[in-house]
Structure 1
């Protein structure tokens, strides 16, 4: 005859087995029968729950960027924009991977609790949130998963799909970064000749901290395409060209307003003048309207969205010199 204590032990062992089994069989939740095929998104849960070496690959690319930055005249803004995009996409993928692991464990725990309660769902307060990304937070996720089996499956499916999309985007961004590095390496001789022609100049005092080359470029562009509402050059502490006196921002609007009409035309003219006269002025690159034109890899290229009018250079033309 089974005693109450032995029954509790047997029930506990069964619950533990249920927890493990549920975590293992998660792809089959919500299917018609245990033998039914798992939804594609759920079937991918285990396969995409770990970093497949992407972080290591990104670190290797970063080391190449540091080396190129020193050899190719500094501040490879076009390359660093691709680096920024890859870093952002990789981080999103990693965050979703972690959420995916937590979701799997949480669903398994809910299944075990439900088993212990004779098949009844545990009572968890439902929390709603207008921001879809917040559904991935633990509190909202637990409450959402606790509603019913269909809800659990739907949430996990969305999470898996989001992670797969983020993974693909990260792979695309890293492929673009590799392409940018390969392009620069293929132009090594040409770029080194360009860098040699424009020997780096020392920051100065008494001229606002800009280099003589930047001062000449600023005065020439201002004379030919100005006047501008304001021109900003040195920025102490800036890790890029503004910090070394090798860059100026030619503002075409004030107060962060998007340039349109005559203001946009003025920006277009300044950017084009700098590109056309890059050889005589020693221009390294131009950024205008979320695009960059680098003399070391000529041609306009779109940049990543930095989140604002000024950050995306829609109100000013950034010009850097060697």
Structure 2
């Protein structure tokens, strides 16, 4: 046997489906009382996600890659990204309001259906057993008193949500154009990035020779940035560091053994220095307890000096003539 609650739920489900089918394009609204239902049908038509969120997520991933490849923060692109996000957020909020209104109208429509379109108070007075209707009517009265304004806003919400989604799509299109324009300038931008790429933090630059300075800048441009580059020093066993003829290109910090990408950076730096030694005036390179002296080419193992830094496992040493 059905209870008033189950009857209300069944009616709500039936009317929700019926309301969604109300035609708006080219069809007349049956009556003034059906206006909220017609607005609700329009809301249902707008509910489907046209793929804006997915498209925006893909564009965000593309922006991250461009940031890395194009030299850091792309302020103009980020502004377009921000505008698209704001428009999408507004569209989502309005859609949430529509969903709330949809549920309210379905409840009230179901209650009206159960009362055969009559005023709830009249139905109670005419009923042989008014108490059976009381729980449902109390709900209807509460909704009518506290949420009626929300029902009246449905058509406005439909219009606002449609406008917000159109604006979001326009902002996404603008973002796509910004990305397309950047990709079209790929070669020019990459040349700028290479020319003005981030410089490594450097210490001990006072007293470095012009040749060593050129080598330091060239390696930093081609291979860097490095965690730090250290050049002139007089402590320990400075050798060429003491005269400004050497720099250490650190690939890790804190005396940590280079592995993975840090070791690869050291390998590439040493290889580049060897390949361009003649043009740059490089005398020798030390890396991973080995030395490559251009006066007697070829890698040769070195004695164990007792530590990661002393054995050059965390930096590439480059000396010039």
What is the TM-score of this pair, normalised by structure 2? 0.47
Task: Indicate the structure with greater helix content.
Answer: 2
Larger C-alpha radius of gyration, 1 or 2?
2
Query: TM-score, normalised to structure 1's length?
Result: 0.47
